[in-house]
């Protein structure tokens, strides 16, 4: 009995001590007063601190110092900062709405020196009466080379890795000829035109005209783009093809049923798909460069057939070799055959 009483006495003493500590902590934090209203007591964290000078020449309290640094990076020697640039180039401030203006991404120009990340230090440009001494992204040969080097200082991977020495680079094409950093019109890739097709056809007018023929790639319908087959920034082949090192590899990346290998191959198909097809468009079905049987007779003569397809008798009798699909009516396995008796590519 004495031991139990001693235990309860100890528990009571501990509870009394806990209650005293709790009341003291409430009073220290600003607990309820005599009227029952909680009145917070100011702490050291809420007391305003003296302004701290930033490297950008502005002042801010420690609470806002971090935000100020994010908005504007420290200005190095020879640089002026975006505020000075926008005093004259106010209409170029729209770059902040593009991917180049994302402050949260440390790889963007905005997260580094802003406008001067791409155009170079601007102090000499501000002091120059002729307003030179700055990197310009124009179409002249000198401006194209200097501007492209600036772009390639960041865009060196992926689709841009083969730009140096590519067909467009060899013709002194500037990145700014196709892309607009400040005011792009397309939702992707910051193009100067609304679509890839509209942009590419400004130079490649012949290919754009073929796209409007009866049989064509579904580019105008929006199912494909020029970049579905081509990489405008460079490739390992002469046609800037996106896939493979020669044309057939690019074609069979989609037309896999024509891939082969076949037991009996068609030499024209093995050599080049464009021996029979125009990849951009044609007035003939299946984008053929000529209509059968004239297409076939560019390589094959009539020696194994009863008569010439140009013979008057054949025309009057409406030979099956002159109608519909011509030679393909019989030789339907035109891309190759795996049949043991398919040496003539018969159906």
Instruction: Note the pLDDT of residue 42.
Output: 45
Instruction: Note the pLDDT of residue 281.
Output: 94
Instruction: Note the pLDDT of residue 22.
Output: 53
- Does residue 344 contact residue 265 with C-beta atoms inside 8 Å? no
Ordered per-residue pLDDT tens for the chain, 347 residues: 445 455 555 666 666 666 555 545 444 444 444 444 444 444 444 344 444 444 444 434 344 444 434 444 556 778 888 888 888 888 887 788 888 888 888 888 888 888 888 888 888 888 888 888 888 887 777 788 888 999 998 898 888 999 998 999 988 899 989 998 888 888 888 899 999 999 999 999 999 999 999 999 999 888 999 999 999 999 988 889 999 888 999 999 999 999 888 999 998 898 899 999 999 999 999 999 998 878 888 888 766 665 455 555 555 666 556 666 678 888 889 999 998 888 888 87
Can you name the residues that pair with 337 across neighbouring β-strands?
264
Instruction: Note the pLDDT of residue 71.
Output: 46
Rounded Cα distance between 165 and 157, Å, is 15
CB atoms under 10 Å from CB of 293, counted, come to 22
Contacts of 315 (CB under 8 A, 6+ apart): 322
Of 252, 234, 262, 271, the closest CA to residue 340 belongs to 262
- Does residue 122 contact residue 134 with C-beta atoms inside 8 Å? yes
Instruction: Note the pLDDT of residue 105.
Output: 87
* Burial annotation 231-241 (CB, 10 A radius, 16+ → b, else e): bbbbbeeeebb
- Does residue 169 contact residue 180 with C-beta atoms inside 8 Å? no
DSSP string covering 176-226, please? Answer: HHHB-SSS--SSSTTBSSSSHHHHHTTT-HHHHHHTTSSEE-TTTTTS--G
CB atoms under 10 Å from CB of 186, counted, come to 16
Instruction: Note the pLDDT of residue 264.
Output: 92
Rounded Cα distance between 35 and 33, Å, is 5
Q: Which two tokens stand for residue 182?
A: 């400040």
């Amino acid at each position: 009995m004495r031991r139990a009483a001693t235990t309860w006495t100890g528990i009571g003493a501990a509870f009394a001590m806990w209650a005293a500590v709790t009341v003291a902590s409430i009073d220290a934090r600003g607990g309820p007063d005599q009227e029952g209203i909680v009145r917070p007591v100011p702490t050291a964290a809420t007391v305003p601190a003296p302004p701290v000078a930033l490297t950008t020449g502005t002042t801010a309290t420690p609470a806002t110092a971090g935000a100020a640094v994010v908005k504007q990076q420290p200005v190095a020697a020879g640089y002026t900062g975006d505020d000075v640039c926008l005093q004259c180039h106010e209409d170029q401030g729209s770059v902040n709405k593009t991917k180049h203006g994302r402050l949260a991404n440390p790889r963007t120009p905005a997260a580094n020196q802003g406008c001067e990340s791409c155009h170079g230090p601007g102090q000499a440009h501000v002091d120059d009466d002729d307003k030179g001494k700055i990197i310009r992204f124009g179409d002249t040969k000198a401006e194209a080379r200097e501007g492209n080097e600036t772009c390639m200082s960041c865009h060196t991977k992926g689709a841009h890795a083969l730009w140096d020495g590519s067909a467009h680079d060899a013709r002194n094409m500037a990145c700014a000829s196709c892309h607009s950093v400040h005011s792009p019109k397309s939702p992707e890739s910051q193009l100067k035109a609304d679509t890839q097709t509209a942009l590419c056809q400004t130079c490649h007018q012949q290919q754009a005209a073929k796209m409007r023929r009866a049989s064509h790639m579904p580019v105008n319908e929006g199912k494909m783009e020029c970049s579905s087959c081509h990489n405008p920034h460079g490739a390992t082949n002469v046609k800037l093809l996106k896939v493979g090192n020669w044309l057939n590899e690019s074609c069979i990346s989609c037309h896999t049923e024509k891939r082969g290998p076949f037991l009996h191959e068609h030499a024209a198909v093995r050599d080049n798909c464009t021996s029979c097809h125009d990849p951009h468009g044609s007035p003939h079905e299946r984008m053929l460069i000529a209509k059968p049987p004239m297409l076939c007779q560019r390589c094959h003569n009539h020696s194994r057939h009863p008569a010439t397809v140009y013979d008057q008798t054949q025309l009057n009798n409406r030979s099956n070799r002159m109608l519909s699909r011509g030679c393909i009516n019989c030789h339907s396995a035109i891309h190759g055959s795996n049949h043991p008796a398919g040496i003539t590519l018969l159906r």
